[in-house]
Chain A
Amino acid sequence: MSRFLRRQGWVAGLFVLFLALLVVTRLIQPGYGAADFGSLARAVLPYAFAVAAQTVVVLAGGIDLSVAAMMALTSVTAAALMAGASEEFALAVVPFVLALGFALGAMNGALIVVSRVPDIVVTLATLFMLQGAALLVLDAPGGGAAEWLKALIVGTVPIPGLPGAVTDWIPKALVVLVICLAVVWIPLRRSRLGLSLYAIGSSDLAAFRSGVPVARTKILAYALGGLFAAMGGLTLTMSTGIGAPIPGPYLLASVAAVVLGGVALGGGRGGLLGPIIAVFVLRLVRTDLTLLAVDPNVTTIIEGVIMVVVVMLGALVAMRGRTP
């Protein structure tokens, strides 16, 4: 139990914080219910995928500044391809867009490994390139999305045997998020590849000496980041029904949630669950502040303060724990 708390304490703490925030939300707005939670989940979706993309890369000891731009490019690509096309055609579009994200991520990784230019510089460069490419695909918000795709994240999941009062709190968007992340993350975490990913983030010299193919693993980390970013891009198209070529505020949000989620920016430490809960926390805080009718400009200040305070407190607790 104490080992679980030591390893997962941060995630558990975040989850408690999230539940507390839900209670606070109910206090502020007694009518806050399942439908509102559903829209929160839908709003979180693109953020969550951006965070997942950033987490994989940061765990491997890198950073990806092109996350938001990649989401924009994949989103407009999907929207442009699906505009006016049949519902069945979308079945081919989804894998294509996912593969596109994977390839673009792999390109990031390969550039970093081969050129030995620092990751922050390479991904900054690709940020601009992808931004431009997105505008080439669609120069203004437009395109379309298949109906079944849009329906995928609207409403709740009826589970036979469970009363409606419970299933109302299981929005489809959340289920989609969990499935998409789990399908990639769980097999990865259980494979040697996942270990290698943590290994190169923790110490690339020790990893090299342990026989880990450092370059290949790094490329793969960026590729997985690209895959998650493409999922994020798709959810953007799914929730709006169109594609927008200008990147949203997902880059900084992803870094913020990674930090708040207990992932060491130096790499090697943390998991995927923490950042995902963190992104829910950050969005819920924003909802609460909006409900309280706080000036939107003040809202960002408060978000920044929360981040610093939480991370500082966490570091303090960790230090106390180390010297009994």
Chain B
Amino acid sequence: MNDDYNLKGKVAVVGVGETTYYKHGQSPDPEFVLVLKAIIAACEDAGISPKEIDGFCSYSNDRNDPPRLANALGIPELRYSNMQWTSGGGGAAAAVQNASGAIMAGSANVVVAYRGLAQGQFGRFGRSGGSRPVSGPAAYTLPYGMMSAAQMYAMRTTRFMHEHGVGREAMRAIAMTCYHHAQNNPRAVMNGKTLDAETYDSSRWITEPYRLFDCCLENDGAAAMIITRTDRAKDLAKPLALVLGAQQSGGHRSGATAENVTDYVTSSFKPAVKHLYEQADITATDIDVVQSYENFTGGVVMSLIEHGLCTYENADEILTFDNLRADGGKLPLNTSGGNLAECYMHGLGLQIEAVRQVRGESCNQVPDVKVALANAGPMVAVASTALYGTEETA
């Protein structure tokens, strides 16, 4: 790849921060205040003033728009604002990608990628209401009782398990791993609540094939990441966490309605992984720790396969609790507890955890991390995926 057109190593994440993570509906603060607090926390982590921020990137349908944020923060120049469209949290890595692109293009110097959610204020994802007629694509699913996120993505997992004969063992191991890691993470909503195989197996169905513990949490909180030029980052306090690559990923007709995406059995990462690894000039074997977005565990299995970290044939053998845990596993996964057990901040927490692993600051630190992967959004219309690395990886 021509270096002039590759962001690898040219931008860095210099600050990460989050609010207290709350159970859904429990935040004492309005959503906008949560976002402000997360941005301030990320600036403090970076050791830079919030007044230096001149760009904002978010995703999904974040309600906290950059003009309002810049106004509240008293930012002198708002040079760049950006929103990435997809379903759910599939844009978490894309927000970092877009921030990186803005810096590379000279559009901004210090960009914050952020996401805030306060469900007490605005309502839950896993609940649908109303009695008015529904039209458009939702009319092809909702009258049949298919409206929640779990229901939107369950049938992909059914079909995946049917075609490849794997998944259930791996799904259990992923859920147990996330809860295991949350026990060392004081930020985690599920800190203090463990999950064993028996509890997983006896948990209630949300929608077959997903049990309760296959499904992400719903939470209140906010998270933020400060991104700037690498030459600037070198003057700041924290160890360098370089952006090695970041890509969005939507295959042929990935946005087709009524489940008509051409390649149905996919986490949506197939188109992007080749570009991601080319951009970062690595292979899957160079990745030391993985943060893989869990909306639902079945999507994680597909994501890890499509990132080349295991295969359709050996997924259940590789994706075991012993392999996935940070303390001694060969493929450490979701070391903060992730969306299942730390917090569902639409996946931005997973991007932050990848940065902490590269810095050596994780609560479940994997020894000698050089390259960390963090993806977002499996099975959604456009997913995104990013790689972070230490100074020596650039």
Q: Do chains A and B stick together as partners?
A: no
Give residues in A with beta carbon < 8 Å to B. none
